[in-house]
Amino acid sequence: MGDWHSRSVSQVMEEVKGNLGGLTAREAARRLEQYGPNQLAQPQPPGLLLRILGQLKDPMILVLLGAAALSLLASGGEDWLDGVIILVIVVVNGVISITQEDHAQQALEELRRMSSPQATALREGEPRKVAAAALVPGDIILLEAGDQVPADARILECSRLQADESAMTGESVPVEKRTEEALPADTPLGDQVNMLISGTLITAGRGTALVVATGMDTQMGHIAGLLLDSSSGDTPLQRRMAEISRSLSFLCLSVCAIMFGVGLFQGKGLLEMFLTAVSLAVAAIPEGLPAIVTIVLALGVQRLADKNAIVKKLPAVETLGCAGVICSDKTGTLTQNKMTVQQVWLPPGARRRDAMVAGALCSDARLEWKAGAPTASGDPTEGALVVVAARDGVDQNRELERLPRVADIPFDSTRKLMTTIHTDPEGGWVALVKGAPDVLLDRCVSTPKGPLTPGDRGRILAANEGLAEKALRVIAVARRRLDRLPQNPQPSEVERELTFLGLFGLMDPPRPEVRSAVARCHLAGVRPVMITGDHRSTAVAIAKELDIARPGDWAATGAELDFMPQELLENDIEKFAVFARVSPEHKMRIVQAWQKRGKVVAMTGDGVNDAPALRAADIGCAMGKTGTDVAKGAADMILTDDNFSTIVAAIEEGRGIYSNIRKAIHYLLSCNIGEIFTIFAATLLGFGQMPLAPVQLLWLNLVTDSLPALALGVEPVEEGVMEEQPRDASAGLFDKKFSLRLAWQGLMVGGLTLAAYFLGFTRLAAPGMEGAVANTMAFATLTLCQLFHAFNVRSEDRSLFAQGVLSNPAMNRAFLAGLAMQLSVLLVPPLQGVFSVTAMSAPQWLTVMALAMAPIPICEWAKSVGRKEKAAEAKEAAVK
């Protein structure tokens, strides 16, 4: 980017080869060909074939495709149901992934749309309306209130020119622009008063400017480039799923190889062992896992939508659950993005009404009433004075009828004052003046009670300092009675011998609900950090009020970050609570520094300047009401109520969703371990036949790997989840406790199945029926055992009876559906033949039911032991 603000006007004019009369049509056309249109570049999205091939990079997808082929081979191609189901799951997941919106592309499209479609430029020495896309460096453009700035430009001349740059810099107040000859090279973007930024809005005045950059060379183009350069990394959930995929792939291949080798060593047939090994591989792969995870996330998205959060990417829901840092923009996110009078100070003897009248009438803002409440259009600061006066009973419209405005002296940055002159109904005229307190005070000679004394002056200055220390913007008001109306009012003639009326302290106030949301963040171990383009003093004051900045926390400005190496920032990042006057690059550096410390970062924001950091964060949260379309396009989640507390509720929901996904994985893998153990142990023990036929394994997966796992996915968020520290995003899903729980519960399921097989083969079958009865009892026990075991997995440590056995309606329906499906296979004669089962006697049924229900008392005992150990550890820690 060019340092246009730090050069003289003549240097800039020479650099871009411009002239005050504007360009000729021929020269403009030549430059348009040289520089290209004043538009943002749009990358070509990958084709559909490349997107489809990209899906094959997921290890789980490859495993599932292999499982589909193996399931067909296991049944000789006759039973194709499970293979087709697996392929459908792969296709559904691929479609969901491919149809996810390309966020960078959306953000770029919105950036392009924001560019002003028309502009007024000097061509052939005459003002002409031209397409904004046709502007080139060297063009002279004319701007007035209401215009959108079409390109980056250096101001040549202006009158009361102000621009709303909040979307680009975070500055909540319109910036007064001036024709400064040159500024220091390191002047932050928000302080470059001699420049106009593409995409911002002219709110007051008029000006002439020289175009210095167009298209991708503008500040907005720079942000577009950052969006293209910043790629979205894998979410924690995607990393966990990849981990599971790799583990399952290794497990399947290893077990199949061992099984195949052991069978051949025992002298069994090659084809028989191949089909057995393939059946085991199908049993070991929870083919419904990706679909179940997707559905659980989708259900979470629906719940979040009810809480005013729209999630654009499913994995982003789970990512919130391990968020350890929320980097939040100040303006419009933590604050209301609305200047408001916070305090009014009056000198002794002054009437509050007099100060209110001066604030309301010495203004170009206009009072409007909407639904019985006062609002104002125009400059935000002036509007705040008009609104506070209306709330105090001083209606600007009625006062203007009483005191008609007959003349004014506009505000300018040199004298820092504005004056309006009104006809006084009591005779003569009254001049009302407002502006910077120190400047205004020098022109005052009295207060309402009498002459201005040194003591009065000291009290006024002390009050001004007190308000400024609270990061309030201070405006002073005064008046003077005139015996005659000047024909051409001049500041030197009117703005003297004033009577001081009072001080107004203004600020963009915090949202009332944010402080409680910040408190919940601290309780949940989530660090809130303020990142803003506003001034340090204002940012720190707001951060302290919201308890974002605590004693000992640091604050830094963008200028300080420029001199801070990234390595140093990464080392000290946890010491900072506030970053002020920062650019888009700074925001990205801050987010990346936290990520380097191993934190999952959520970034909230609403402006164009927030978009790159929203994109770079693990999860970007844009404001739905005040947020720009660019920010919404770059974000993963949109808060429709612009409420900071909504993100805290989303974090709680994310933690609950992760817990439910973990429960589903726990259930699926523990059951599959039981299946693996059953067949593997039978092979090693040299059983004459396998306890389960290939078709039974396929049916078993269909019945138990779907509905119960989905029911676990809709478990309510457990109590106390927001009193825990965020989980480490780098920690594996299979920690020691989780792995041990999977192992012993899987062995329990497999052991109970083998017990059913053994009892059926040796004790309960009629002569000649041993094999059929044993196989049927093993098949029935394994299926029903898994259905009952789903109730155990609803909580890792809480008793099922404390939760309420029937407290999850979805689990009740899943159990009944699975039970009905299994009973139909066991009891309906045509299906008995298809699935190689035989009718069972009453003792056989009683044995099956007893073994199938055994996991509930076994797991209840294990949970009780675990709770006692946890209580003992907590007691020991408290003693220490």
Catalytic residues, by residue number, are: 329
Element holding 611 (H helix, E strand):
helix 611-616
Buried residues in 100-129 as b, exposed as e (16+ CB within 10 A):
eeebbbbbbbbbbebbbeebbbbbeeeeee
Neighbour order of strands in the sheet with 527-531: 309-311, 637-639, 619-623, 600-605, 323-329, 527-531, 576-580, 554-557
Tally Cβ neighbours within 10 Å of residue 151. 30
Residues in the chain: 880
In this structure, what token pair is assigned to residue 677?
């153990």
The separation between CA 830 and the C-alpha centre of its own chain, rounded to angstroms, equals: 55
End-to-end Cα distance, the chain: 59
At 680 the three-state DSSP class reads helix
User: Which residue, 110, 106, 116, is CA-closest to 198?
Assistant: 116
In this structure, what token pair is assigned to residue 587?
């925001």
Sign of the torsion angle spanned by Cα atoms 701, 702, 703, 704: positive
Question: 293 with 706: CB under 8 angstroms?
Answer: no
In angstroms, what CA-CA distances link 533 with 240, 423, 562, 576?
36, 42, 14, 16
Phi, psi angle pair for 237, to nearest 5°: -65, -45
Q: Which residues contact 689 (CB under 8 A, 6 or more apart)?
A: 771, 775
Tally Cβ neighbours within 10 Å of residue 640. 15
Question: 439 with 419: CB under 8 angstroms?
Answer: no
DSSP string, 26-74: HHHHHHHHHH--SS---PPPPPHHHHHHHHTTSHHHHHHHHHHHHHHHH
